[in-house]
Amino acid sequence: MKITTKKISLLISGFVLAGLVPGLAQSQVPAHQTTLLSPLSFTNRAQCALDSEKPTSSVLVMIDGYNAGKLANSVAKLQGLAPEEYSNKAMKEFRLSVAYMTLNIMNKMIRGHLPVLPTNLKTAQLPKYVGASQRCEKAGNNCSDMNDYLSGIWTRAGKRADLTAYDRFTQDNFPLHASKDRLGCYYIKKFSALQGHLHNSEVNQSNLQDIALAYLNEADYLTGCFDSDDKLPNRFVTLQIDWETNKNSLDIQGFDFWNSLKIYLSWAWRNTNEVEMLSPSFGRLFRSIALEESIMFSPNGCKSMTKPSCDSEYLATNSVRELAKLSDSVTPEQFDNVPVGTELELLEKGVRGVNNDFLGTQSHDTAQGWLQNFRKNLIQSRALIKTKYQSATMHLNLLQDQLGVELLAHGLNKELTANASSDNLMNELYYLCTEVRLAGDNSLDFLKSNIDRIAELKNMTQMQYSERRSIKEHIDFFNKLSAPILATCNQLEKQNFWSKPGYTVSKNGFSAWAKEMLQIGPDAEAAPFVPATFSGKPTLSWSGQTAAGAQTICSSSIDCARLAVKSVVDLYAVSVYADALIPLAGKSSDPNLFNPYAELTTCKMYDPWFQTQRMNKVFMIDLANTALFGWNVLPIYLDVNFTAPKVVSFNQLMKNGVLKFDPRLEKSKAQTSLVADFGPLLGAPCAVSLNSNGIKHYNFYSFTGLTVNYCDAKQKNEVISLKATDFANGASTERSFCGGCTLNFTAVAAASTATWSGGVNPAKFIVYLFRTFQKYFKAKKDKVNIPRGWTVNPAYAAEVYKKYGEIPSHCVDMLGKGLNCFSDTCAAKAAQYIEQTYNAKVHSAYIHNDGDYQGLATDTVLRTNLCEGDISVTAYCNENRLEKFRVTNVYGWSKSCRRALGK
Amino acid sequence: MKQLLTAVILLGTLHAQAWTIESKVQVGSKGEFSDTVTLFCRADENLCETVCGDKNACHKEQELCFNCLGTANPILRTVFTEVDRLYRNTLQAVPVLDAAKVFKNNHVFVAARSIYNFYSAIDSVEVQTRFQNLCPNPSAQPLLVLEKNLNNEPTRIKYVVCDGTGPYNQEMQVLEYSPRVESGASEIKLNQP
């Protein structure tokens, strides 16, 4: 076995790590590499959209050490030790533990020691697993069945026969290929060209050079996951895990693999003592850490960890992407008092750029800085949501326990009777009536159906600890309360209650959520609103004997009713983003941070194949045109353009406690315009405006003048000529072609067509045919909307750079195909074959006999480090279809080579 | 005879309990930190013997408390931010046998100066006051007792361990959800069951 430099470095890093990290020598850190392993996959927008449907093989693990640090801080203070020192120690050990547990479980699944559990329980053939899952879902979290089940698997890990007997695991739950997988685990110090696919949507000389330089200076950007250098920050850590595996197996098992990783990780963290391996001091306490709040996964690129689906859970989870962006100016949607809803946010944001570093990873000096910004926004919005939930349920409980519908309604009437003419009362009733209408009126339904639906959403019903009442009971209370209030409000309106002379309502007193919905801005001049206590003392307040002291809960029955409405609106706000911000116990979230097309594609707002299909459709129509018009003398040519199908709205459908969005599409329309082409006369095609003049049957159109359109969306500056000799500014026309011209034709009922000297125009035919193909090939070059992908192996880029001092232009194509740079693409492909099959290093490769032109196999001659002499590879190779590369023979020209090849 | 027997039984249960519970973070022999509770019994108290067979003290590690170290658990949030507003001490003592069961499993003991406090500083005076407000007598370390579910998550605030007079004189008293609210409206009767 040849000892390569890579293997040596791996061995050395293993020993070094074992020495440095306490406890590491005793445990077996799963085998992994610390120099960059996987090729980088560059994609443009359309390919990125397509990739969102495929499982990823590289993920980022984002770790926030706060919980570990705070724990250690408390422990140190209780023990009289140095808090800062112990905090740092704990955060480091937390990072090491997360890395260890993740790799350990991945390793076990890769080796077939742990089975891959299916994500889709409906089609799963594992009765015990499905049973435990169903029981635990029914019982909320008060269930140990799933823990017991996973414990059963863990104790049988590595024993295939025992596992198969335990539950009906089959070959589908274990590795589907025989070849060995490899894992790489890196601590990202700084985002660089080594994550270049996140901020470039194509491969060119310049970014290849960046990749090469970054690879050669890898230590500045990456280090190993288990690097225990104290200078490495541990509060915000981004790890990258690369998994090199068989592509076909990945496509089949990928999503299940990542789902299983999350399940095993959540269970093993709490229920085994493996965490103590990497952190002997804090390991026992770490088990109680809120793990899913401290770590987050994300695919490293456009592919996914979870299969995309157009529903509230998926859209909410991915909406955290907005929190990872830099901008301070825009308040993220998660902070809205009344969120519009994830599917409507999607429609509003629409189609956008991708792979252009919109998350700002390049704008921070360190990866820690980027993650810190993300976590700050995430934690703030999470805290906001939790506080809203806690307050809302507490207030609703108080109102139901202490007051109830009847007392509130009675109190309301009493206040109305006693204070009918007071401005304060009129204002507060106005606010109450408006707010109840917004939230609780069936016919207006601004929020009513959204609120009713909260009780059906799984993310709310499984939210922990609606201790005294279920969500449904709160919603029922709200509905029961709204009914008499709405009736009273209707009555008051009929009596023109608010039409008192001299009275104008002060809009300042509306609740923040109502102001948001009604778009009432802040009024600096108005006095801040204080609810009146109509009976002298607040209707409900906290006793002064508590640690926090006396505090008003609500001042009057009106105020208390408004509090009920606010609480229910807050519950609605929580329900929209709960999936993203409050992970259900035992499920880490994995938003597809770097690919906004994951949602756009699955919700059909973007079709990555649309452009390709349109290009083909237009091509066919152009050919038809050529046949129809290309031969005659009429200067007319039909230009057909298809508009992309547009999602206009979403039908909402509640299914299994999750809101599914069904896009309503406005179908693809054909936009037609007739383009008149005067060929050599005017040079550019002009658009044609046809005025039928009310005449139904006409033989031809008569030219009535020319309009020249400047590039102006508002269609000013148009020059219109009504007659051939007339030029004047005029009104807008229906179509405006930027920089072009419009020929105006009017239908003429009857005219002699004798002016056309009839017949075929062969020159025109050729021109039209040529233009058809030209248009087609130009469309094919669309950089953004025709799927295009590249693969770059950074080690190859570095090698080429070292050899030539730059990236030569002839190498760009080969490097973009994941190959090293040789004389020819097929030679490079043959070289890759030899390197992968025989674990060799190819020094040179050239084509000896290019059989491609005769349809025969190509002969490539290579020199390698395997042996002295030449090796010949015969293969069928088409430069443009490299996936069909097929080797027919490998031959060693010298004895040593024949021996090395095993022949 | 029956009345005599009843009286004897009643007298037995009314006999003041003589134990204390202490919660603290301990360091093991290999430097490992763990959250522990210790039950100390006076010589004439049987509780320790019932719990662990040792007459003087029973010691245990508070093992897994699911998602407790963080801000994920709403019960802990209530404990550290507003427990005295929402709960009151009924002063009803938990019988000895029940106290033994509580100590042995499915419950977690939380002190004011606790590693589970992610809502304020560990020395927060407000949290200390909150815990004190739940005890009838000044107590050195009032402990809140939370019940855990099958997944080891605290789900209910059940008892408080308060000091009596003198050492070995603590009691586990039942807490009840009873918001400390006041009303200005005369027709409103608060905290009706």
Q: What's the pLDDT score for residue A26? A: 37
User: What rounded mean pLDDT belongs to chain A?
Assistant: 79
Q: Which value does ipTM take for this structure? A: 0.90
Taking residues A152-172, report their average pLDDT.
93
Q: What number of CA atoms fall less than 13 Å from residue A442's CA on the CB side?
A: 5
- Chain A residues 53-82 within an 8 A CB cutoff of chain B: 67, 70-71, 73-75, 77-79
Q: Which residues of A touch B69 (CB under 8 A)?
A: 67, 70-71, 285-286, 288-290
Taking residues A409-420, report their average pLDDT.
87
Taking residues A759-788, report their average pLDDT.
71
Contact A667, A661 (CB under 8 A): no
Among A143, A536, A537, the residue with its CB nearest the CB of B150 is A143
Q: What's the pLDDT score for residue B122? A: 92
Contact A552, A560 (CB under 8 A): no
pLDDT classification of A644: cutoffs 50, 70, 90:
low
Percent of chain A with pLDDT over 90: 28
* B52 touching A (Cβ < 8 Å): no
Contact A498, A420 (CB under 8 A): no
Whether A390 shows a pLDDT value over 60: the answer reads yes
Q: How far, in Å, CA of A650 to CA of A498, rounded?
A: 39
Whether A585 shows a pLDDT value over 80: the answer reads no
Q: How far, in Å, CA of A343 to CA of A311, rounded?
A: 8
Element (H, E) at A694: none
pLDDT classification of B190: cutoffs 50, 70, 90:
confident
pLDDT classification of B124: cutoffs 50, 70, 90:
very high
* B34 touching A (Cβ < 8 Å): yes
* B33 touching A (Cβ < 8 Å): yes
Among A70, A390, A585, the residue with its CB nearest the CB of B67 is A585
Contact A39, A793 (CB under 8 A): yes
Q: What's the pLDDT score for residue A730? A: 39
Q: Is A357 left (phi over 0), alpha (psi -120 to 50) or beta?
A: left
Token pair in block for residue A573: 């706000």
Alpha carbon of B100: minimum distance to chain A alpha carbons (Å):
23
Contact A798, A40 (CB under 8 A): no
The residue type found at A768 is: Y
Q: How far, in Å, CA of A541 to CA of A555, rounded?
A: 8
Give the A:B interface size as CB pairs under 8 Å.
Answer: 177
Q: How far, in Å, CA of A730 to CA of A718, rounded?
A: 6
User: Which parts of A247-362 fold into alpha helices (H)?
Assistant: 247-271, 275-278, 283-286, 291-294, 312-319, 342-349
Residue B4 lies in a domain: no
Q: Which of A64, A71, A74, A91 to mutate to test the interface with B (most CBs of B within 10 A)?
A: A74
Please state which of the ranges A44-48, A254-258, B88-92 shows the lowest mean pLDDT. Answer: A44-48
The reply to whether residue A290 touches residue B68, judged by beta carbons under 8 angstroms, is yes
pLDDT classification of A665: cutoffs 50, 70, 90:
low
DSSP character for A237? E
Mention every residue, 6+ apart, whose C-beta is less than 8 A from residue A753: A699, A700
Dihedral angle of Cα A199, A200, A205, A210, to the nearest 10 degrees: 10
Domain carrying residue B112: 65-177
Q: What's the pLDDT score for residue A317? A: 79
* A292 touching B (Cβ < 8 Å): yes
* B178 touching A (Cβ < 8 Å): no
- Chain B residues 85-114 within an 8 A CB cutoff of chain A: 85-86, 113-114
Higher-scoring residue by pLDDT: A790, A615: A790
Taking residues B162-168, report their average pLDDT.
80
Q: How far, in Å, CA of A585 to CA of A266, rounded?
A: 9
Token pair in block for residue A865: 């480090």
Q: Is A191 helix (H, G, I), strand (E, B) or coil?
A: coil
3-state SS record for A495-542:
CCCCCCCCCCCCHHHCCHHHHHHHCCCCCCCCCCCCCCCCCCCCCEEE
Q: What's the pLDDT score for residue A466? A: 53
Q: What's the pLDDT score for residue A114? A: 95
The reply to whether residue A74 touches residue B114, judged by beta carbons under 8 angstroms, is yes
Q: What's the pLDDT score for residue A633? A: 52
Q: What's the pLDDT score for residue A625? A: 65
Mention every residue, 6+ apart, whose C-beta is less than 8 A from residue A584: A459, A462
Token pair in block for residue A701: 């159109």
Whether B178 shows a pLDDT value over 60: the answer reads yes
* A549 touching B (Cβ < 8 Å): no
What ranges do the domains of chain A cover? 5-379, 421-581, 606-780, 789-900
Q: What's the pLDDT score for residue A680? A: 34
Q: Which residues of B touch A547 (CB under 8 A)?
A: 84, 126-127, 129-130, 133
Token pair in block for residue A163: 């596992």
The reply to whether residue A281 touches residue B31, judged by beta carbons under 8 angstroms, is yes
pTM: 0.80
DSSP character for A304? B
Whether A663 shows a pLDDT value over 60: the answer reads yes
pLDDT classification of A297: cutoffs 50, 70, 90:
very high
**Vertex A848: Cα angle to A847 and A854 (nearest 5):** 90
Which of the listed ranges A317-326, A381-390, B67-76 does the model predict with the highest average pLDDT? B67-76
Element (H, E) at A654: strand A646-655
- What residue of A is the nearest CA neighbor of B181? A542
Q: What's the pLDDT score for residue A724? A: 36
Contact B83, B144 (CB under 8 A): yes
Taking residues A192-198, report their average pLDDT.
85
Q: What's the pLDDT score for residue B27? A: 92
Contact A176, A170 (CB under 8 A): no
The structure tokens 């330089």 sit at A213
pLDDT classification of A715: cutoffs 50, 70, 90:
very low
Q: Which of B23, B34, B115, B153 to mutate to test the interface with A (most CBs of A within 10 A)?
A: B115
Q: Which of A282, A286, A288 to mutate to test the interface with B (most CBs of B within 10 A)?
A: A288
3-state SS record for A569-630:
HHHHHHHHHHHHHCCCCCCCCCCCCCCCHHHHHHCCCCCCCHHHHHHHHHHHHHHHHHHHHC
Q: Is A167 helix (H, G, I), strand (E, B) or coil?
A: coil
pLDDT classification of A582: cutoffs 50, 70, 90:
confident
Listing from the earlier edge strand, what are the strands of the sheet with A669-676? Answer: A636-643, A669-676, A686-691, A741-748, A700-708, A719-720, A728-729
3-state SS record for chain B:
CHHHHHHHHHHHHHCCCCEEEEEEEEECCCCCEEEEEEEEECCCCCHHHHHHCCCCEEEEECCCCCCCECCCCHHHHHHHHCHHHHEEEEEEECCHHHHHHHHHCCEEEEECCCCCCCCCCCCCHHHHHHHHHCCCCCCCCCEEEEEECCCCCEEEEEEEEECCCCCCCCEEEEEEECCCEECCCCCCCCCCC
* B27 touching A (Cβ < 8 Å): yes
pLDDT classification of A115: cutoffs 50, 70, 90:
very high
* A865 touching B (Cβ < 8 Å): no
Whether A836 shows a pLDDT value over 60: the answer reads yes
Please state which of the ranges A628-632, A670-674, A719-723 shows the lowest mean pLDDT. Answer: A719-723
Mention every residue, 6+ apart, whose C-beta is less than 8 A from residue A497: A426, A429
What is the separation of C-alpha A513 from the centre of its chain, rounded to a whole number of angstroms? 28
Q: Which residues of B touch A74 (CB under 8 A)?
A: 114-115, 117, 122
Q: How far, in Å, CA of A862 to CA of A859, rounded?
A: 10
The reply to whether residue B32 touches residue A407, judged by beta carbons under 8 angstroms, is no
End-to-end CA, chain A = 17
Among B70, B114, B183, the residue with its CB nearest the CB of A293 is B70
Contact A195, A361 (CB under 8 A): yes
Domain tally for chain B? 1
Q: Is A380 helix (H, G, I), strand (E, B) or coil?
A: helix
Residue A143: φ, ψ to 5°: -155, 135
CA torsion sign for B39, B44, B50, B53 is positive
Element (H, E) at A31: none
Q: How far, in Å, CA of A318 to CA of A312, rounded?
A: 10
Q: How far, in Å, CA of A685 to CA of A703, rounded?
A: 15
Percent of chain A with pLDDT over 70: 77
Please state which of the ranges A32-46, A555-569, A748-762, B66-80 shows the lowest mean pLDDT. Answer: A748-762
